[in-house]
Amino acid sequence: MTQADKQYEFSEFSGEFVDDDVTVILRIYRSAGTYLDWTLEVLDEEGNTTVWNDTFVTDREAFEEFLATVRRNGIHTFSDQPVQRLH
């Protein structure tokens, strides 16, 4: 199975997030039909992506980590560096 063929389950926490006039797309997902940990990914307005190296046991933990990162570093942290991996 290629990466393009793989199906994902997206968390209800996924979607647009707006702060300080910056919009990002928040993706929290895992392989469909599994109980694997959740991956956290943020896409900025230019389509650049930030992916956390660590996965999360629950989608809520992933969402809380995203919020903590925004509080700590600001929403601009996702658009200041084109592609990055966190943690």
| CB under 8 A, 24+ apart: contacts of 19-22 | 19/70, 19/75, 20/74, 20/75, 20/76, 22/75, 22/76, 22/78, 22/79
**pLDDT beyond 50 at 58:** yes
Whole-model pTM: value is 0.84
CA distance 66 to 54: 12
Q: What is the pLDDT of residues 4-49, one digit of tens each?
A: 557 999 999 999 999 988 999 999 999 999 999 999 999 998 888 9
